[in-house]
Structure 1
Amino acid sequence: MIYRRSKKQPKAPPQPAAPKVLHSPGGIKGRWMMNSLSFVLVILAAVVILVTVGVSGYYYASVRDNLTSRATLKAETYHKYFTETYDQFYAQAESDVSTFSEQEKLEMQFLDRNGRILLSTSALTGGGMASTEDAAQALSTQKTAVFPGRDPLTDERVMSVTTPLLSSRGELIGGVRFITSLRIVERQIWIIIGIVILACLVFLMLVVASNSYFVKSIVDPVLKINTIAKEIAAGRYGVRLQKTYDDEIGELCDTINYMSDEISRAERMKNDFISSVSHELRTPLTAIGGWSETLLAGGGEDPEEVMQGLTIIQKEAGRLTRMVEELLDFARIESGRMKLEVELFDLSIELYEAVYMYENLLQKSGIRLSYDEDVDANYYINGDRHRMKQVFLNILDNAAKYGADGKKIDISLRREGGKIVASVRDYGQGIPEAELPFVKEKFYKGSSKQRGSGIGLAVTDEIVVLHGGTLDIASTLGAGTTVTITLPAAEAEEALGITGAIPKVPETPYTPEPKGDS
């Protein structure tokens, strides 16, 4: 029997959860209004509640204090002057009831010690009992009692205050009771609350109006920005926004405009680069194809012509190879895959070899090359020697190509503290001041009519930056250009005991074909 073991399929790695997009009804305006109005509504509700409680408490306290004051004053008066005998008390009570002038606002009652009504300004006589609990409480405790609430007899909201009446000997005779309706008070309270609510509604309407205007001033520019962004995404580079306010929205408009201009410029540079590279590739391919056809068609009978054709094919193939390598370097830089083979080496040797390699070619072109170096200094750095030679060759090639009219190139190497400074100066036409800030950007060729891909100097600058250095270009129109490379010197050179000058040992000399850099 044959057993087959099935292979266990590896589990796919868990995919990160997509960020949750919250639903926003009404957009920015809806969220703004919801958030701001919610806060305002809470504040206004708190204001209404506080006003209601405060006004109600104030009015009720005023009524209670007024009734208590009246009842207490009346009881003290009777205690001092009208309680020698019961007849004296009753006669004075009848007199006060009959002469009471505030019957429309208050009701005054005199009670016996059991809580029965003896006399009343509303003619409630005949032994009726006080209908609210303040009477019984005051008579039993012999202290003033207050009752706010609904009268069981009339079903009306009232406030009553009862104060016990004591004789001059301290015996309980009865009580004096004041009653008032709360209808007027509560109507006044509701009027005030209504005014407060109306004021809150007016305030709320003003908040809504001001928020709507404010949100409109934000949403409208955002919608315009969205429209412009869609146009840029559709390929209409260079469109601009009209700036209205000098605030954060205005800064965003400036940024969008700057982005649009930069994308437009980058698009033009890319198109120029594609056109330039296409032309640069077509020229050597045409030469290679033409000579190949010539040799295949029987042009190989003359040995001298064969050698000339093969030389041209080799030269153009080499130029194609260098262009492809340059493009590969640029692609590595753009993708962050440019790697350096770091080692401790003498930078002066690489510069000297680059100068040696170009010297014969420059002499044939009528360009005099001057090289100046402080031989007593050390020029060790930590870096990639091959990449640094590529930097020097590219800069020398640019100097020969763009500064050929000056017929002279000066090269110097100096040690300045912990820095190593190499400079290459030509005496050609120079670079216009307006173009100088862009010469190190990718695809940029400026107004020069020289051939090139527009990425050589960008690659050169990136290599220098990867070494922790800087590449600076100074130029005066009509007077030439100076390229200065500043690199950090190796900290390990003293520890290694390296002193004195290092003899220059160039590689096997050869004359390279100038590269199509810019």
Structure 2
Amino acid sequence: MRSGITHRWLRGSLFLTVLLVLLVESMFVYNFGRSYYNSVQQTMMRRFSSINGQLKMYTGDTAQKTAANRSVALRRMVEQFADKDKYEFMLLDGYGGVIASSSGTGADGIVVQDDFNKAQDAPDGVGVAIYRTASGETVMAVCSLVPYAAEDVAAMRLVTSLTLVQAQLKSVFIVSLIVVAAILGFTVASGLYFVRGIVVPLGQVERIAASIARGELDVRLPVTGDERDEVDRLRGTINQMAEGLEETEKMKNEFISSVSHELRTPLTSIRGWVETLRTLDDPTDENYRKGLEIINNETARLYNMVEELLDFSRLQNGRLKMECRPLDLVAELTDAVLFCEARIQREGLLLAYAEPEEMIPVYADPDRLRQVFINILDNAIKYSAPGGRITVKIWQGEYKAFIEIIDQGRGIPPEDLENVKTKFYKGSNSVRGSGIGLALVDSIMTALDGTMDLKSTLGRGTVVTLGLPIYKR
């Protein structure tokens, strides 16, 4: 993980940062050098402008005399040139040859024709050339055509050394490289610190998640409680997941133990009576008929339990399809109550149910709806003592129909009330059963766009309220 995130950071963020910094560095060095060269060029151009201004004032009796005076003036300027330590001032003929030079020589080895050629082609009559002399020195030559007739003088040239300029540029370049190195160093250090701050906690999360995947559900990650820290919130989420899995695993084991016990009881009864019936040859014997009845009841109980488990499994996996259609909720509830009425009487309980005269239309699966009613009524019977009352109510609201099933049984402890709809959960006050009845009911009601609410008082009974949308054509 460390290698992967670090490599992605190197290939992505750091690579782009390096490119951006190098681009800015290149632009800075280029523009800085251009500004220095332009400054030198502008200085020489100002000298040419001053000389041209002086030449304009020279006059004579004739045009030839005027040109001669300008030529003499230019030669005098060359001889009296004050900045010989900075510039080489030259006068050129029409072919670019040197007529006069401020150094008194022909300037051999430092002269090329590039600036003169460019000046002849340029609209403003100015040409610039940067080149190396025979001695290896870099110079800048600026040539300007003389705008007035001056006999054989056709152009002026100023040549200056760029050694100091290049030294200055080199210093600036070194300083800028140091700044770039510092920026990149800070970027790398801060990036590695940031990456390490993510990679190390993620590595810890990965190890703990691997432990959880191996079934070690008691492991936990350290949490600081900082809600602003995404990694810390991730640790908290992993811990919650581990706690949920641990609780689910515990409930699953309890469920397996409970179901095994629930299955063993009827199987033991069936096996015992089968052994008893083997010894009886008379079908008219009272024990023979009693044994068959018990075997039939226990088999039906086993069948219902297995069907409940299969239905819940199909519903959780999305394989249980609802065959919904418009139906009368009152009729479906009445059928379920009549189905359980005989058992309610056998258990010594009282049933209070007044069937409404008007139908209540809903859109639901009748088989699953009947399963919901019978499951809740079965719980009311199991958890009620003889002499208790089971009350069933149904009414229609503006948008929903409501069914209320009330018992006077032992009730549900407050600590179990919020978990009784959880799969595999069996409360401390529970009796026989698989532990998924209410979870199945809740799943069916959710699939039907309905609701199931529970209210219970320990020792006084439980109220289950079901809600279904009213069907409108």
Shorter-chain TM range is 0.7 to 0.9
Please give the per-residue CA displacement for 1:75-100, whole angstroms capped at 9, x wherever unaligned: 43245359867887677667655654
Tell me the distance in 1 between the aligned counterparts of 2:450 and 2:290: 43
Query: Does the Cα contact within 8 Å between 2:58 and 2:66 map onto a contact in 1?
Result: no
The alpha-carbon distance between structure 1 residues 162 and 394, as it changes in their structure 2 partners (threshold 3 A), is closer
Superposition RMSD on alpha carbons, in Å?
3.2
* 2:433 pairs with 1:452: yes
Following superposition of structure 1 onto structure 2, how do residues 55-454 of structure 1 map, counting pairs within 5 Å? 55-80=32-57, 96-97=77-78, 99-111=80-92, 115-125=96-106, 131-135=112-116, 144-151=125-132, 153-165=134-146, 173-244=153-224, 246-297=228-279, 303-375=285-357, 377-404=358-385, 407-454=388-435
The alpha-carbon distance between structure 1 residues 298 and 362, as it changes in their structure 2 partners (threshold 3 A), is closer
**Structure 2 counterpart of 1:284, one-letter code:** P
Aligned-residue offset at 1:236:
0.9
Identity over aligned residues, as a percent?
37
Query: Does the Cα contact within 8 Å between 1:406 and 1:426 map onto a contact in 2?
Result: no
The alpha-carbon distance between structure 1 residues 89 and 201, as it changes in their structure 2 partners (threshold 3 A), is same
Query: Does the Cα contact within 8 Å between 1:82 and 1:92 map onto a contact in 2?
Result: no
Higher mean alpha-carbon deviation, 326-335 vs 42-51, is at: 326-335
Higher mean alpha-carbon deviation, 33-42 vs 70-79, is at: 70-79
Please give the per-residue CA displacement for 1:350-401, whole angstroms capped at 9, x wherever unaligned: 32233233334334434322223443x3223333333322221111111122
The alpha-carbon distance between structure 1 residues 130 and 480, as it changes in their structure 2 partners (threshold 3 A), is same
Tell me the distance in 2 between the aligned counterparts of 1:488 and 1:142: 90
Aligned-residue offset at 1:135:
4.2
The alpha-carbon distance between structure 1 residues 432 and 172, as it changes in their structure 2 partners (threshold 3 A), is farther
Aligned to 2:461: 480
Q: Which runs of 5+ in 2 are unaligned?
A: none
Tell me the distance in 2 between the aligned counterparts of 1:165 and 1:269: 104
Aligned to 1:504: none
Query: Does the Cα contact within 8 Å between 2:217 and 2:243 map onto a contact in 1?
Result: yes
The alpha-carbon distance between structure 1 residues 122 and 477, as it changes in their structure 2 partners (threshold 3 A), is farther
SS at match of 2:223: coil
Query: Does the Cα contact within 8 Å between 1:406 and 1:427 map onto a contact in 2?
Result: no
Aligned to 1:49: 26
* 2:430 pairs with 1:461: no
Query: Does the Cα contact within 8 Å between 1:148 and 1:157 map onto a contact in 2?
Result: no
Aligned-residue offset at 1:207:
0.6
SS at match of 1:26: helix
**Structure 2 counterpart of 1:234, one-letter code:** R
Q: How many pairs does the alignment contain?
A: 467
Q: Which runs of 5+ in 1 are unaligned?
A: 1-23, 493-518
Aligned to 1:36: 13
Tell me the distance in 1 between the aligned counterparts of 2:241 and 2:121: 90
Tell me the distance in 1 between the aligned counterparts of 2:195 and 2:299: 64
Please give the per-residue CA displacement for 1:293-343, whole angstroms capped at 9, x wherever unaligned: 233245969923333333322222221121122122122213322234444
Tell me the distance in 2 between the aligned counterparts of 1:66 and 1:188: 17
Aligned-residue offset at 1:43:
0.9
Tell me the distance in 2 between the aligned counterparts of 1:199 and 1:484: 74
Aligned-residue offset at 1:213:
0.8
The alpha-carbon distance between structure 1 residues 406 and 46, as it changes in their structure 2 partners (threshold 3 A), is farther
Please give the per-residue CA displacement for 1:213-272, whole angstroms capped at 9, x wherever unaligned: 111111112111111111111001142222355333233223222221111111111111
Tell me the distance in 1 between the aligned counterparts of 2:414 and 2:408: 16
Query: Does the Cα contact within 8 Å between 2:36 and 2:165 map onto a contact in 1?
Result: yes
Aligned-residue offset at 1:413:
0.9
Please give the per-residue CA displacement for 1:37-58, whole angstroms capped at 9, x wherever unaligned: 1211221121122112211211
Aligned-residue offset at 1:490:
3.1
Higher mean alpha-carbon deviation, 179-188 vs 153-162, is at: 153-162
Tell me the distance in 2 between the aligned counterparts of 1:461 and 1:359: 24
Tell me the distance in 2 between the aligned counterparts of 1:363 and 1:175: 130
Query: Does the Cα contact within 8 Å between 1:67 and 1:178 map onto a contact in 2?
Result: yes
Tell me the distance in 2 between the aligned counterparts of 1:173 and 1:344: 113
**Structure 1 counterpart of 2:103, one-letter code:** S
**Structure 2 counterpart of 1:259, one-letter code:** M
